[in-house]
Amino acid sequence: MAHDSTSLIRSDAFGSYVAVGDSFTEGVGDPGPDGTYVGWADRLAVLLADRHPEHSFRYANLAVRGKLLDQIVDDQLPRAKELAPTLVSFCAGGNDIIRPGSDPDDVAERFERAVADLTGVVDTVLVTTGFDTRGVPVLRHLRGKVATYTAHVRAIADRYGCPVLDLWSLKSVQDRRAWDDDRLHLSAEGHTRVALRAAQVLGLEVPADPDQPWPPLPPRGALEDRRDDIQWAREYLVPWIGRRLRGESSGDHLSAKRPDLAPL
């Protein structure tokens, strides 16, 4: 039931939305007042809900941090299809791509099978590309793999008529203020800009430009940058590498924060 063209999407067409994915879609880096992560998908759900009568729009977020593509397909997609929403956002494969020895062509083939399955039962499937990682220290050397996967995702979206949340072209998230202290997840402002871009892709008028320039930063010295890099490596990079070596995931033993379709 995929759309032949994203131009056919009406911004009030989505009465229910299910988000599936990993830490990006769960909202890591964007903590709410109660400590639960918010994130771009929750923020997009609010923008969608604003187009409907109060309590009539329903939303579920099945994403869990650290999950690989096959885990998302096995654990989250059956539930997403069971909930039968009018919109699903499907972001997966990023954790696979950053694993040593992974093949973006192989990941893309598995991603396409999942998209084909989803579009058979869901009206609209929003897919997301990778970020341009040139400014991310620990992921800079993977830029070619991420770019290859991104090209695949765009081609898959064309084949199945899926709207594309193109994170590679979202220049505002190149700024370090768009990223959390761990440099691997977006900050609250970064998630907000992604939500605005997603809303634009789905045909909504948005309250702000997601690519609005950031205010200028005061100049920093090389010593400050070096001190920040050392602190970051100690606090985030070393534990992250340790989890990879032990085969652990930050999402082990966690469940979805919003497993049922419910009014916002």
Instruction: Mean pLDDT check: name the lowest of 8-12, 102-106, 110-114, 208-212.
Output: 8-12
What's the CA gap between 157 and 195, in Å, rounded?
19
Residue carrying structure tokens 């880096």: 29
What is the mean predicted confidence (pLDDT) over 156-164? Answer: 98
**Would you state the pLDDT for residue 249?**
67
pLDDT band at 19 (very low <50, low <70, confident <90, very high): very high
**Would you state the pLDDT for residue 6?**
44
pLDDT band at 4 (very low <50, low <70, confident <90, very high): very low
What is the mean predicted confidence (pLDDT) over 32-43? Answer: 94
pLDDT digits (tens, 9 = 90+) for 183-211: 789 999 999 999 999 999 999 999 999 99
What is the mean predicted confidence (pLDDT) over 32-47? Answer: 95
**Would you state the pLDDT for residue 74?**
97
What's the CA gap between 147 and 159, in Å, rounded?
19
**Would you state the pLDDT for residue 106?**
98
pLDDT digits (tens, 9 = 90+) for 63-81: 999 999 999 999 999 999 9
pLDDT band at 38 (very low <50, low <70, confident <90, very high): very high
For residue 58, which phi and psi values (nearest 5 degrees)?
-125, 150
* Portion of the chain with pLDDT greater than 70, in percent: 91
**Which of 47-61, 133-147, 224-238: highest mean pLDDT?**
47-61
**Would you state the pLDDT for residue 10?**
61
pLDDT digits (tens, 9 = 90+) for 132-144: 988 877 788 899 9
The runs of H, that is alpha helices, within the chain are 23-26, 39-49, 69-75, 77-83, 94-97, 104-119, 143-160, 188-201, 222-232, 238-246
Q: Could you tell me which residue, 231 or 195, shows the higher pLDDT? A: 195
pLDDT for residue 251 is more than 70: no
What's the CA gap between 251 and 68, in Å, rounded?
10
Coil, helix or strand for 138? coil
Mean pLDDT, the chain, rounded, equals 89
Provide the pairing of β-strand 124-128 with 164-165. parallel
**Would you state the pLDDT for residue 9?**
58
Q: Could you tell me which residue, 233 or 192, shows the higher pLDDT? A: 192
- The pair of structure tokens assigned to 236 is 């985030």
pTM: 0.89
Burial class (CB in 10 A: 0-12, 13-18, 19+), 175: middle
For residue 67, which phi and psi values (nearest 5 degrees)?
-75, 140
